[in-house]
Amino acid sequence: MDAIAFDCIRREAGGKGVAGRHRAEGRLPAVLYGHGIAAPIAVSTDPVQFAKGLQNPKGFNALFQVNLPGEPSVPVLVRDVQRDAISRAIIHVDLVVPDVERPIVAIVPVNLTGKSIGITTGGRLRKPYREIKLRAKPAEIPSEVLIDITNLDHGDGIMASQLPLPEGVEPVFDRDYLVVKVLKPRGKVKTEEEAPKKGKK
Protein backbone atom coordinates (compact mmCIF):
# COMPACT_ATOMS: atom_id res chain seq x y z
CA MET A 1 0.00 0.00 0.00
CA ASP A 2 1.10 3.59 -0.57
CA ALA A 3 2.43 5.61 2.35
CA ILE A 4 -0.30 7.50 4.23
CA ALA A 5 0.49 11.20 4.37
CA PHE A 6 -0.24 13.68 7.12
CA ASP A 7 0.86 17.26 7.65
CA CYS A 8 3.13 18.50 10.43
CA ILE A 9 4.47 21.88 11.43
CA ARG A 10 7.58 22.66 13.41
CA ARG A 11 7.08 23.74 17.01
CA GLU A 12 9.41 25.10 19.64
CA ALA A 13 11.15 22.46 21.71
CA GLY A 14 10.37 22.43 25.41
CA GLY A 15 8.93 20.48 28.30
CA LYS A 16 5.40 19.52 29.27
CA GLY A 17 4.27 23.14 29.34
CA VAL A 18 5.04 23.71 25.66
CA ALA A 19 3.45 20.41 24.66
CA GLY A 20 0.40 21.18 26.80
CA ARG A 21 -0.05 24.52 25.09
CA HIS A 22 -0.08 22.85 21.67
CA ARG A 23 -2.63 20.32 22.87
CA ALA A 24 -4.77 23.18 24.18
CA GLU A 25 -4.64 24.64 20.66
CA GLY A 26 -5.95 21.37 19.24
CA ARG A 27 -2.61 20.05 18.05
CA LEU A 28 -0.87 16.72 18.73
CA PRO A 29 2.76 17.20 19.84
CA ALA A 30 5.33 14.85 18.30
CA VAL A 31 9.05 14.46 17.81
CA LEU A 32 10.67 13.47 14.52
CA TYR A 33 14.01 11.69 14.42
CA GLY A 34 15.84 8.81 12.78
CA HIS A 35 17.65 8.02 9.55
CA GLY A 36 19.13 11.10 7.89
CA ILE A 37 18.05 13.52 10.65
CA ALA A 38 20.97 15.04 12.57
CA ALA A 39 18.95 16.07 15.64
CA PRO A 40 15.36 15.42 16.79
CA ILE A 41 12.79 17.89 15.44
CA ALA A 42 9.83 19.00 17.55
CA VAL A 43 6.66 19.02 15.46
CA SER A 44 2.90 18.89 15.87
CA THR A 45 0.10 17.54 13.72
CA ASP A 46 -3.68 17.48 13.45
CA PRO A 47 -4.87 14.77 15.89
CA VAL A 48 -7.95 14.00 13.79
CA GLN A 49 -5.89 13.51 10.64
CA PHE A 50 -3.38 11.43 12.57
CA ALA A 51 -6.05 9.20 14.15
CA LYS A 52 -7.65 8.68 10.74
CA GLY A 53 -4.27 7.68 9.33
CA LEU A 54 -3.93 4.98 11.97
CA GLN A 55 -7.21 3.44 10.80
CA ASN A 56 -5.50 1.52 8.03
CA PRO A 57 -5.06 -2.23 7.53
CA LYS A 58 -1.48 -2.17 8.86
CA GLY A 59 -2.14 0.02 11.89
CA PHE A 60 1.11 1.07 13.55
CA ASN A 61 3.10 -1.01 11.06
CA ALA A 62 2.11 1.31 8.20
CA LEU A 63 4.71 3.51 6.56
CA PHE A 64 3.52 7.12 6.83
CA GLN A 65 4.66 10.21 4.97
CA VAL A 66 5.21 13.42 6.94
CA ASN A 67 4.83 16.71 5.10
CA LEU A 68 6.57 19.77 6.58
CA PRO A 69 5.99 23.21 4.98
CA GLY A 70 8.82 24.11 2.60
CA GLU A 71 10.70 20.86 3.27
CA PRO A 72 10.90 17.49 1.50
CA SER A 73 8.44 14.92 2.83
CA VAL A 74 9.92 12.05 4.80
CA PRO A 75 8.74 8.46 5.44
CA VAL A 76 8.08 7.65 9.09
CA LEU A 77 6.97 4.85 11.37
CA VAL A 78 4.84 5.61 14.42
CA ARG A 79 6.58 4.66 17.67
CA ASP A 80 6.32 5.30 21.43
CA VAL A 81 2.73 6.50 21.52
CA GLN A 82 1.76 8.17 24.83
CA ARG A 83 -1.88 8.15 25.90
CA ASP A 84 -3.87 9.93 28.57
CA ALA A 85 -4.25 7.63 31.58
CA ILE A 86 -8.02 8.18 31.77
CA SER A 87 -9.32 8.99 28.30
CA ARG A 88 -6.70 6.90 26.46
CA ALA A 89 -6.45 9.67 23.88
CA ILE A 90 -3.05 10.01 22.18
CA ILE A 91 -1.19 12.96 23.72
CA HIS A 92 2.29 12.55 22.22
CA VAL A 93 3.97 10.40 19.60
CA ASP A 94 7.46 9.63 18.31
CA LEU A 95 7.84 9.59 14.53
CA VAL A 96 10.88 7.57 13.46
CA VAL A 97 12.41 7.92 9.99
CA PRO A 98 13.60 4.45 8.91
CA ASP A 99 16.13 3.44 6.29
CA VAL A 100 13.55 2.24 3.77
CA GLU A 101 16.07 -0.16 2.20
CA ARG A 102 16.90 -1.88 5.46
CA PRO A 103 14.66 -4.63 6.89
CA ILE A 104 13.14 -4.10 10.32
CA VAL A 105 11.26 -6.37 12.73
CA ALA A 106 7.51 -5.90 13.13
CA ILE A 107 4.77 -7.72 15.06
CA VAL A 108 1.97 -8.80 12.71
CA PRO A 109 -1.38 -10.50 13.51
CA VAL A 110 -2.07 -14.09 12.41
CA ASN A 111 -5.50 -14.83 10.94
CA LEU A 112 -7.02 -18.02 9.56
CA THR A 113 -9.24 -18.66 6.57
CA GLY A 114 -11.09 -21.74 5.35
CA LYS A 115 -12.70 -24.63 7.25
CA SER A 116 -10.31 -27.42 8.11
CA ILE A 117 -11.31 -30.92 7.04
CA GLY A 118 -9.92 -32.10 10.37
CA ILE A 119 -12.15 -29.77 12.35
CA THR A 120 -15.28 -30.82 10.43
CA THR A 121 -14.59 -34.39 11.56
CA GLY A 122 -14.21 -33.51 15.24
CA GLY A 123 -10.67 -32.21 15.43
CA ARG A 124 -9.64 -29.30 17.64
CA LEU A 125 -7.80 -26.21 16.47
CA ARG A 126 -4.66 -25.10 18.25
CA LYS A 127 -3.38 -21.58 17.53
CA PRO A 128 -0.70 -20.70 20.09
CA TYR A 129 0.06 -17.24 18.74
CA ARG A 130 -2.19 -14.34 17.80
CA GLU A 131 0.80 -12.38 16.49
CA ILE A 132 4.23 -13.23 15.15
CA LYS A 133 7.45 -11.35 14.42
CA LEU A 134 8.40 -10.74 10.81
CA ARG A 135 11.42 -9.10 9.20
CA ALA A 136 10.90 -6.98 6.09
CA LYS A 137 11.59 -3.57 4.59
CA PRO A 138 9.22 -0.95 6.09
CA ALA A 139 7.04 -0.65 2.99
CA GLU A 140 6.76 -4.44 2.61
CA ILE A 141 5.45 -5.30 6.08
CA PRO A 142 2.14 -7.13 5.52
CA SER A 143 -1.05 -6.15 7.32
CA GLU A 144 -1.55 -9.77 8.44
CA VAL A 145 -0.38 -13.33 7.96
CA LEU A 146 -3.36 -15.16 6.45
CA ILE A 147 -3.22 -18.96 6.68
CA ASP A 148 -5.60 -21.20 4.72
CA ILE A 149 -6.34 -24.19 6.96
CA THR A 150 -8.77 -25.91 4.57
CA ASN A 151 -6.52 -28.92 3.91
CA LEU A 152 -5.36 -29.47 7.49
CA ASP A 153 -6.46 -32.85 8.86
CA HIS A 154 -5.95 -34.42 12.28
CA GLY A 155 -2.32 -33.99 13.34
CA ASP A 156 -1.48 -31.55 10.55
CA GLY A 157 0.18 -28.26 11.41
CA ILE A 158 2.06 -25.31 9.98
CA MET A 159 5.39 -24.14 11.34
CA ALA A 160 6.73 -20.59 11.21
CA SER A 161 9.17 -21.62 8.47
CA GLN A 162 6.20 -22.81 6.33
CA LEU A 163 4.15 -19.61 6.45
CA PRO A 164 2.83 -18.23 3.14
CA LEU A 165 4.73 -14.93 3.17
CA PRO A 166 5.37 -12.42 0.36
CA GLU A 167 8.80 -12.27 -1.22
CA GLY A 168 11.23 -10.34 0.94
CA VAL A 169 9.33 -11.12 4.17
CA GLU A 170 10.60 -13.74 6.61
CA PRO A 171 9.64 -14.95 10.09
CA VAL A 172 11.92 -14.14 13.02
CA PHE A 173 12.83 -17.02 15.31
CA ASP A 174 15.82 -18.65 16.96
CA ARG A 175 14.03 -21.98 16.84
CA ASP A 176 11.22 -22.94 14.47
CA TYR A 177 7.81 -23.07 16.18
CA LEU A 178 4.24 -24.19 15.61
CA VAL A 179 1.79 -21.51 14.41
CA VAL A 180 -1.36 -23.58 13.91
CA LYS A 181 -2.31 -27.25 14.25
CA VAL A 182 -5.41 -29.44 14.11
CA LEU A 183 -5.47 -31.84 17.05
CA LYS A 184 -7.18 -35.19 17.07
CA PRO A 185 -10.59 -35.33 18.77
CA ARG A 186 -10.54 -36.06 22.49
CA GLY A 187 -11.23 -39.70 23.30
CA LYS A 188 -10.82 -40.80 19.69
CA VAL A 189 -11.30 -44.55 19.41
CA LYS A 190 -8.17 -46.24 18.13
CA THR A 191 -8.43 -48.11 14.87
CA GLU A 192 -7.49 -51.76 14.64
CA GLU A 193 -4.10 -50.78 13.20
CA GLU A 194 -3.45 -48.21 15.96
CA ALA A 195 -4.52 -50.49 18.84
CA PRO A 196 -1.74 -52.59 20.42
CA LYS A 197 -2.07 -56.26 19.74
CA LYS A 198 -2.71 -58.47 22.78
CA GLY A 199 -0.34 -61.31 23.38
CA LYS A 200 -1.50 -64.90 23.50
CA LYS A 201 -2.35 -66.33 26.92
pLDDT band at 35 (very low <50, low <70, confident <90, very high): very high
List, edge to edge, every strand of the sheet that includes 104-113. 145-148, 104-113, 131-136, 170-171
Over residues 95-102, mean pLDDT:
96
Domain boundary (97, 113, 128) is at 97
Over residues 146-171, mean pLDDT:
96
Domain that residue 19 falls in: 4-97
Report pLDDT for 192: 43
Whole-Å CA distances, 53 to 17, 45, 89:
27, 12, 15
Domain boundary (38, 62, 97) is at 97
Residue 154 pLDDT > 60: yes
Q: In this structure, are 26 and 78 located in the same domain?
A: yes
Q: Would you tell me how many other CB atoms lie within 10 Å of the CB of residue 147? A: 19
Residue 69 pLDDT > 80: yes
Over residues 106-112, mean pLDDT:
96
Helix (H, G, I), strand (E, B) or coil at 117: helix
- pLDDT tens readout for residues 131-143: 999 999 999 999 9
Domain boundary (78, 97, 116) is at 97
Q: Would you tell me how many other CB atoms lie within 10 Å of the CB of residue 171? A: 19
Report pLDDT for 25: 77
pLDDT band at 89 (very low <50, low <70, confident <90, very high): confident
Report pLDDT for 33: 95
* pTM higher than 0.85: no
Q: What is the domain count for the chain? A: 2
Q: In this structure, are 88 and 118 located in the same domain?
A: no
Whole-Å CA distances, 75 to 91, 133, 136, 168:
21, 22, 16, 19
pLDDT band at 2 (very low <50, low <70, confident <90, very high): low
Residue 3 pLDDT > 80: no
